[in-house]
Structure 1
Amino acid sequence: MAGHNKWSKVKHIKAKEDAKKGKIFTKAVKDIMTAVRDGGPNPETNAALRLAIERAKAVSMPQDNIKRAIDKASGNLPGVKYEEITYEGYGPGGVAIMVECLTDNKNRTVAEVRHAFNKMGGSLGTSGSVAWMFDKKGVISVERSDKDDEIMEAALEAGASDILEFDEVLVIETEPADFNNVLQAIEKTGAKILESSVGLVANNETDVSDETAEKVEKLIDMLEENDDVQNVYHNMK
């Protein structure tokens, strides 16, 4: 029995590690697909895609998976037609949530998204119900270092619209049209870029209790576990 118990424990640990690796791969795939949709499938001219591919390789994602993600986002998979669709809704505490999806079956996706909202105490809204609370911006997160001044100067010269300074991270915002130029300028400084994407940024934040925040986070987690969901944005403070 001792051997059996040991093997059970090993299997349990392996299952947890496989699940963790699966989530890392899922995020890497979504980052690649978002970059392709924003800037095209060529990493030589799409800095965000180039960085997303580098991050995917850093977590040992197979080349076939990377290629499949690029093909899916650019519509090059034979026999499959993908459609971009965004769902809007409210989470617990009235938190506004935007869900960007890429799907080959809109009926399946909307049913699964609605189920997540309902299960977690939210509600799916109509088109335009919360979109007005968000602006589309490029967002680049950079690890702080002794190059901060150089990074900020390069970003501003390339067209950055705002730079937010936090303890460990610089968050650089751009207009969508300036995103690639700013990202390339930051890349040339040798900065460690943690995240980079064009997405939705809330212009009107909602303050909620810790208990409500936990419920909202569970809803976001459930939505992000859906393979059709590319990005989830919210206005929770």
Structure 2
Amino acid sequence: MTSLPLVLCRRWAGHNRWSKVRTVKGPRDADRGRLFQRLSLRLRAAVKDGGPDPALNAPLANMIEQCRASNMPKSSIEAAIEGALRPTASSPLLLQARAPQGVSLLLWVQSSDPRRSQRELSSILSRYGAALAAGVLHDFQQQGVVRVGRTDAMGQHVGQHVGLELALEVGAQDVREEEEEPSLVVRGGGIWGVMGQLWGSYGAAMGL
């Protein structure tokens, strides 16, 4: 007499759904993590440049608003600020490089070990025919862009003419009138001075 094994099969209804969730949610979480990492580095840089008090440090106050707009957790914002105050915190590094076809590169790096970062970036650049080089900075004109929202700090609507008026008031180099919001173009390192002048009136309505 021949006996046949009994095999019971059961289909799990939620398996396919979890597979889809994993496929979509995984990359989104990764993108979110990279965004928070970049924001944390910029927070630390702002703290090191102007101190940990947003009331006295306009760039830091602006960065905190950007973090909140990106739904970065409050605990992560506080951790980044506290981390910048530790003696072992990372420091900024500017590297200049030349790429094929005459392309000039400026690399802003935040690192706890600048020498190691420079070696690693030099190795990466060499793979693509580029190399660290001096004198590249002269190929660039440093500018900043301040975006002014359509409402001020009190929630009042800001008219279309506000861009030109603000440019004249704070000494901006140029104005870009766009549908969503005007942008002020500022030459050189003057962007933080412009941000400081505008912050009292426009507060959270500004962004870099």
Residue 131 of structure 1 is matched in structure 2 by 137
Match for 2:142: what amino acid? K
Is the alpha carbon distance of 1:171 and 1:95 closer, same or farther for their aligned partners in structure 2, counting shifts above 3 Å?
farther
Flag the structure with more relative contact order, 1 or 2, with Cα contacts below 8 A and sequence separation at least 6. 1
- Structure richer in strand, relative to its length: 1
Structure 2 match to 1:32 = 43
Report the equivalent of 2:66.
Answer: 55
Structure 2 residue runs of 5 or longer lacking an equivalent are 1-10, 152-157
TM-score by length of 2: 0.73
The match for 1:84 among 78, 92, 96 is 92
Would the aligned equivalents of 1:151 and 1:189 in 2 still touch at CA under 8 Å? no
Contact 1:155 1:182 in 2 (8 A): no
Cα 1:7–1:66 change in 2 (3 A) is: same
Superposition CA RMSD, Å:
3.0
Counterpart position of 1:23? 34
AA in 2 matched with 1:127? A
* Structure 1 residue runs without a partner (length 5+): 196-237
Paired positions, count: 190
State the secondary structure of the residue aligned to 1:57.
helix
2:159 aligns with 147
Instruction: Give the share of equivalent positions with the same residue, in percent.
Output: 30
Aligned letter for 1:21? R
C-alpha distance in 1, partners of 2:148/2:124? 32
Q: Which amino acid aligns with 2:46?
A: A
* 2:93 is aligned with 1:69: no
- Return the alpha-carbon distance in structure 1 between the equivalents of residues 180 and 101 of structure 2: 30
Is the Cα–Cα contact under 8 Å of residues 142 and 191 in structure 1 kept in the other structure?
Answer: no
Partner of 2:124: 116
Aligned residue in 1 for 2:55 = 44
1:11 aligns with 2:27: no
Query: Do 2:173 and 2:187's aligned partners in 1 also have CA atoms closer than 8 Å?
Result: yes
Change in Cα spacing, 1:95 to 1:40, as seen in structure 2 (3 Å) is farther
CA distance in 2 between counterparts of 1:60 and 1:161 reads 32
Distance 1:194 1:82, change over 3 A: closer
Q: 1:105, CA displacement in angstroms?
A: 1.4
Match of 2:174 in 1: 162
Tell me how far apart the structure 2 counterparts of residues 122 and 169 of structure 1 sit (CA, whole Å): 40
Secondary structure of residue in 2 paired with 1:135: coil
